[in-house]
C-alpha cells in the first residue's frame, strides 16, 4: 500500500524564508543562520592564549564555560579593527565546544526568501568565498552568508 504525499506547490517553496543574524565585518554585511547562533555578547574581556594562531583572539568566560574567541577580521585576512572600536561576539557551538566569533557589530535578525539566495559571485574575494555559502542581494549591498562550520574549522584555517 502506498500513501500519496502531496507535493508542495512551487510557489510555496519560493515563499520559504530563512532567518539570519546580520552583522558587520569591516563594513561588509554578513549573515549567519539564526539556528547556528547560541548567544550574542557585547564587548567581553578576552584573555590572550600564548602561541595561538593570529586569528585566535584568546578565550573568554561565558557563564563558567571557557569559549575560544576567533577574530573574523583576521580569519578573513582583513585589517585589524581600530583599537578604540568596541567589538561584539556571536557565540556558536561545534563539537560540544563554544566559539565566539568577534565581529564589528551585530545588527538584527532578518528573514529572507530562500528563492533569492545566490551562489558566491566570481568577484567575491577568495578569502571570503572560502567561508561563504552564498549571498543575498539587498538594497545597495551584498549580504554574505557565512558558513559557521567552515569558520570554526580551526585546523584548516591555521
Quick: pLDDT tens for 71-123: 999 999 999 888 888 899 999 988 888 999 999 999 999 999 999 999 999 99
Pairing of strands 17-25, 28-33: antiparallel
Torsion sign, CA atoms 96, 98, 101, 106? positive
Residues above pLDDT 90, as percent of the chain: 69
pLDDT at 20 over 50: yes
pLDDT at 4 over 80: no
- Fold held by 19-157: OB fold (Dihydrolipoamide Acetyltransferase, E2P) (2.40.50)
pLDDT digits (tens, 9 = 90+) for 86-98: 899 999 988 888 9
Give the strands of the sheet with 88-94, arranged side by side: 39-41, 88-94, 97-103, 65-71, 56-62
**pTM recorded for the entire structure:** 0.83
Residues above pLDDT 70, as percent of the chain: 88
Residue reference for cell 562550520: 149
Domain chopping of the chain, boundaries: 19-157
At 28 the three-state DSSP class reads strand
Residue 154's pLDDT is what? Answer: 62
At 90 the three-state DSSP class reads strand
Q: Give the HSE-up count for residue 120: Cα atoms under 13 Å, Cβ half-sphere.
A: 17
Amino acid at each position: 500500500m502506498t500513501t500519496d504525499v502531496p507535493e508542495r506547490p512551487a510557489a510555496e517553496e519560493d515563499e520559504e524564508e530563512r532567518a539570519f543574524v546580520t552583522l558587520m565585518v569591516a563594513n561588509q554585511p554578513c549573515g549567519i543562520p539564526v539556528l547556528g547562533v547560541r548567544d550574542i555578547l557585547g564587548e567581553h574581556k578576552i584573555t590572550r592564549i600564548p602561541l595561538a594562531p593570529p586569528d585566535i583572539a584568546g578565550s573568554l568566560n561565558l557563564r563558567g564555560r571557557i569559549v575560544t574567541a576567533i577574530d573574523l577580521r583576521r580569519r578573513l585576512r582583513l585589517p585589524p579593527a581600530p583599537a578604540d572600536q568596541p567589538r561584539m561576539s556571536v557565540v556558536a557551538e561545534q563539537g560540544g565546544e563554544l566559539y565566539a566569533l568577534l565581529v564589528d557589530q551585530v545588527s538584527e535578525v532578518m528573514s529572507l526568501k530562500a528563492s533569492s539566495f545566490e551562489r558566491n559571485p566570481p568577484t567575491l574575494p577568495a578569502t571570503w568565498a572560502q567561508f561563504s555559502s552564498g549571498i543575498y542581494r539587498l538594497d545597495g549591498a551584498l549580504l554574505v552568508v557565512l558558513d559557521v562550520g567552515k569558520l570554526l574549522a580551526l585546523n584548516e584555517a591555521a
